[in-house]
Structure 1
Amino acid sequence: MQGLMMDVPMLLSRLIDYAADHHGETEVISRQINGRVERSNWRALRSRSKQLAKSLLAAGFNSDTHFSSLTWNTINHLEVFYGVLGIGSPLHTLNPRLTVNDLCYMIELMADTVCFYDADTQALAEEIDRNTDSIRQWIYLDEGEALPATSLRKYCSLSALKDGVDDQFEWPVFDERDAATVCFTSGTTGRPKGVAYSHRSLTLCAMNMTMVDMYGSARNGELVCAMPIAPIFHANGWMMPFSAPMNGHKLVLPGRDFSSAGVVELMAQEGVTIAGAVPTVWSDIMAKADSSETSLPSLSTALVAGTAIPEKLFDLLEGRGIGVRTTWGMTEVPGATRASLPPTAGETNKADIRKIALSRQGRVGFQADLRIVDEEGNCLTHDGIASGILQVRGPIVAARYVGESEDQAVQWLDTGDIATIYPDSTIQIVDRAKDVIKSGGEWISSPQLEAAAASHPAVNLAAAVAAPHPRWQERPFLLCTLNANQEVSADALRQHMAQTLAKWWLPEDIKFIEEMPLTATGKINKMRLRQLYVQASILEEKG
């Protein structure tokens, strides 16, 4: 016997309809590319999105058209999200921080033919246009200014496209498994790989990201003011463009200005209650808040992912009354763990709670099954002792990448992380498989090395990579940037690290560098560090 419930597809147009119909006056705030702060609400955003959808169909585009966007976290971009996805077309969010070569590769792989761009990305769009014939229509996301002169071969402005078109439009109904957004990994291990999310998976993921204990706190939806500091092209801005309308949250978009000054200003001005970013970005935000004496009284939750949070940053946030919530996910599976503490944590002292928050990356979430396996694929016990390759499956997990055939789909996605899973369902990322330092047959955890180094007051950022060794096969090579007007010698830093690390873990080689290379998503770019320092030194030795 089958169930007798209505078969209504999970489409993202239902999210914007819900927000407009039931939270219509809740604000959507955006710092635009020109620096102006635009104030709108969910009802007005749906109107704009419907007008765009109707305009695109009138211009001859349809659900078979592959759209892309080369822009930032603005309300114009959100309008494009719901307008394009609403007609059943996929939207490929391009990362303006990547190289033209990679961007052209992704555009051609996706067969994108239409691209939205803005004043900040116009020069990049022109360079792309010179290097690929794929994009046949460029649409400029204007903000009241005249269309600037450009070398693009075919272009128009968003306002011109919508001119004379009203918002009287009914969203079409189609298969919930159709592609919605497409986000590419940043390509730190080779060519970027495309993850094609479906309407169904994004709806489920947004639901997953707003379960009552996802962030370890629960509030009336309209009392939440969310800011996705992570760019929208990175895993859909950590799902906030979808979870916010689903729950009636106020949404604040930082636009192009991801500077700590710009973010702090918007946080204070708009009463942001929850924001998500990687630790390096949070460090900059807190430094700016301190130097400008900005209190940020509304900010109650700092969502942290991407890498383990340093102790100093944790203490700084908690000292301001901002609850740190750590979670784990990746482009292929956003929000796989929830950030709440295990039930027993409430019975322990603050030191134990701090230890859990610093060492674990959340608890297993509902929409993603997690397991650890050994190198032969045998499942390991979730006992808090065994560590192995972290694998994940579920309705919000990518089965294969754009351009891959159906027979390349996987039943369990190999994340590339080495993890331990505890009986209370918390997980600890021990290392990245590609970042594991295996010395004399024993693993050395690069995150623990980095945390020990970063705990020194002179150290700003620390990164540990494997360097070849004639006897031990590999030894850790530590690279650090220092805080302004601070100094420390390699020997002194090594002595400091020896307080918490085994002696054989300590790096013989420590190098202080002026600037730490970061990926497009704000993580330390270890592939680049290997190229600059490890591989270069090997070539130099070979002469």
Structure 2
Amino acid sequence: MLGQMQDKPLLISSLLEHAERFHPNVEIVTKTVEGPIHRCNWRELGERSRRLAIALQKQGVKHGSMVATLATNTYRHLELYFAVMGLGAVLHTINPRLSPEHLEYIVNHAEDEILFFDLPFAPLIEKLQSRFPTVRRFYALANQDSVETAAPAIRDFAGYETLFDDTPADPSFTWPQFDERSASTLCYTSGTTGNPKGVLYSHRSTVLHNHVISLSDSLGSSADATILLVVPLFHVNAWGLPYAAAMTGAKLVLPGPHLDGKSIYDLLRDERVTLAAGVPTIWQMLFQHVDANGLKPREDLCLKDAVVGGSAAPRMMIERFDRDFGTFLLHAWGMTEMSPLGVVCRLLPKHADLSPSQRYDIQMKQGRAVYGVQIKIVDDDGQRQPHDGKASGKLMVSGPWIIGRYFKGDDNLLDSEGFFDTGDIATIDEDGYVTLVDRSKDVIKSGGEWISSIDLENAAVGCPGIAMAAVIALPHPKWQERPLLICVKKPGAEVDKAAVLAYLDGKIAKWWTPDDVVFVESLPLTATGKIYKLGLRQVFKDHELPA
């Protein structure tokens, strides 16, 4: 027997309609590419999104069309989110930090038809346009004066605002209704090994994911929240937070391309941000700006939660946010293949009386699975391992917003129980908290035991004078592999190998101690802001460890 409730499709356009109807005057603030602050609200964004949808239809965009963006976090990019997906077309958000070769590959693999870009990326488009045979039209996301001044030499090119010139508001326009399993967004992995792989989300998976991330025990979007999206709109849909803001009526703050410490601090202060989301490198730059200018964030800001993802945050970052900002650093973990959220590190009621140090121990974990995500750890033979906080294994996930196959791929990615292998090694404790030991390709195998590069890096960053740290494995004739610690010094710091090793003494297992410490000016980062371990292994492949 089936239930007898109304069968309404879960569509992304319904989120915008809700925002317009129930939160029309809530602000969306953008620090534009050109620099000035732009302010609009959900009502205005909804009106422009509908006009944009009509204009796109005139350009031949239909259900299933591929529309690409090469853009930062702005209100125009957000308009494209709702207009493209609302029509049933697919928004392909492109990471501009990818190599030209990978950009060429994914545009052609996706068969994009129209490409929208921020003007600073015009030289890149000029260089690559001849390699994009499926793209029939390019639009610059800028005001018309800026477009005419720049006048890039791009074929079939126009300014974004021209789409609105001959498209007046149509009160009779309604968003089309279609199967909720229709594709909504296409994101590609960063392609650190081989070509990037496409992950194709659906309206159903996105709306379900959105409901869960908005819960107070999850990321906690609400009508009294002001959310700063430092995480890019091109990176897994900014972790789903734009949708959550539309559903809950949160104020959105979009930094555009301005991700330096000063710009982020000014937005946090001026817009009274309560929730911000970004990768650890962003928060490091924020700390550097605070230190360099003697600022007092606990007095200036009202930041309640700072969500960190992409890579594990070091303990000193958790402590610093708590001590100097009065902010809870919220670990979250997931991946492009998971839409992305899988686990969130909220505290349980039984943790209320913990000391700060004990609380930090919990916050170092990646977190507990959110509703809808099932997790398990297995050994090399696929056998489940206990959730005792000690046994480690391959982290496997399953759920309604987790990948089954890659875009245009025929291979089933799931095991016999329907779980996807994340490529991470993890432990799970009795309370369900996941702790990542390492990426399976990054873990150091020494003498038959594992050394976590994540734990070593987090310990090293706590050393005075160290700004960033990375650990890679180098071959060893006796132990198979041993760790090499690669550090970046803080400006003006005087710290050497002996000081780093002395700091680590007693903070890690003795046999984990790096065999060598080297210093570099900077660490290579992937297109998503993670440390590029493959590049480091190539640079240091001939490095000889001390005897």
Same fold by TM-score greater than 0.5:
yes
CA distance in 1, matches of 2:16, 2:183: 18
Say if 2:395 is the partner of 1:390: yes
Deviations 1:406-458 (A, max 9, x none): 64566211111111111111111111101010011111111121122112101
Q: Is the 8 A contact 1:286 1:317 kept in 2?
A: no
CA distance in 1, matches of 2:286, 2:46: 32
- Residue of structure 1 in register with 2:230 after alignment: 229
- 1:414-433 aligned within 5 A: 414-433=421-440
How many residue pairs end up in the alignment? 534
Amino acid across the alignment from 1:433: S
CA distance in 2, matches of 1:455, 1:294: 21
CA distance in 2, matches of 1:327, 1:118: 29
- 1:144-293 aligned within 5 A: 144-145=144-145, 146-147=147-148, 148-168=150-170, 169-215=173-219, 221-292=222-293, 293=295
Q: Is the 8 A contact 1:208 1:335 kept in 2?
A: no
- Residue of structure 1 in register with 2:522 after alignment: 515
CA deviation after TM superposition for structure 1 residue 136, in Å: 1.3
Say if 2:465 is the partner of 1:458: yes
Secondary structure, in 3 states, of the residue corresponding to 1:435? coil
CA distance in 2, matches of 1:60, 1:289: 49
- Residue of structure 2 in register with 1:318 after alignment: 322
CA deviation after TM superposition for structure 1 residue 5, in Å: 1.0
The worse-fitting range, judged by mean Cα deviation, of 279-288 and 37-46 is 279-288
- Residue of structure 2 in register with 1:110 after alignment: 110
Secondary structure, in 3 states, of the residue corresponding to 2:119? coil
- Residue of structure 2 in register with 1:125 after alignment: 125
Amino acid across the alignment from 2:392: S
CA deviation after TM superposition for structure 1 residue 515, in Å: 0.7
CA deviation after TM superposition for structure 1 residue 476, in Å: 0.7
Amino acid across the alignment from 1:302: A
Q: Is the 8 A contact 2:115 2:137 kept in 1?
A: yes
Q: Please, what is the CA RMSD of the aligned residues?
A: 1.6
5+ residue gaps, structure 1: none
- Residue of structure 2 in register with 1:368 after alignment: 373
CA distance in 1, matches of 2:201, 2:64: 16
- 1:339-358 aligned within 5 A: 339-358=345-364
- Residue of structure 2 in register with 1:138 after alignment: 138
- Residue of structure 2 in register with 1:307 after alignment: 311
Q: Is the 8 A contact 1:342 1:424 kept in 2?
A: no
Secondary structure, in 3 states, of the residue corresponding to 1:47? helix
Secondary structure, in 3 states, of the residue corresponding to 2:341? coil
CA deviation after TM superposition for structure 1 residue 99, in Å: 1.1
TM-score, normalisation: structure 2: 0.95
Say if 2:438 is the partner of 1:438: no
The worse-fitting range, judged by mean Cα deviation, of 69-78 and 290-299 is 290-299
Q: Is the 8 A contact 1:271 1:299 kept in 2?
A: yes
Amino acid across the alignment from 1:363: R
Q: Is the 8 A contact 1:341 1:363 kept in 2?
A: no
Secondary structure, in 3 states, of the residue corresponding to 1:467? strand
Deviations 1:338-381 (A, max 9, x none): 231133212433321121112x1111111211110001111111
CA distance in 2, matches of 1:238, 1:451: 24
- Residue of structure 2 in register with 1:72 after alignment: 72
CA distance in 2, matches of 1:385, 1:408: 27
- Residue of structure 2 in register with 1:338 after alignment: 344
Say if 2:505 is the partner of 1:498: yes
Deviations 1:263-316 (A, max 9, x none): 111111111110011122112112213433253422111111222222222221
Q: Is the 8 A contact 2:471 2:484 kept in 1?
A: yes
Q: Is the 8 A contact 2:98 2:527 kept in 1?
A: yes
Q: Is the 8 A contact 2:524 2:531 kept in 1?
A: yes
The worse-fitting range, judged by mean Cα deviation, of 300-309 and 137-146 is 137-146
Deviations 1:1-34 (A, max 9, x none): 0011111111000001000100000000111111
Q: Is the 8 A contact 1:228 1:238 kept in 2?
A: no
- Residue of structure 1 in register with 2:96 after alignment: 96
Deviations 1:89-113 (A, max 9, x none): 0010011111111011001111111
Amino acid across the alignment from 1:206: N
Deviations 1:66-118 (A, max 9, x none): 11001110000001111111100001001111111101100111111110112
CA distance in 1, matches of 2:25, 2:483: 55
Amino acid across the alignment from 1:348: L
Amino acid across the alignment from 1:322: T
Q: Which runs of 4+ in 1 moved over 6 A?
A: none
Q: Is the 8 A contact 1:63 1:87 kept in 2?
A: yes
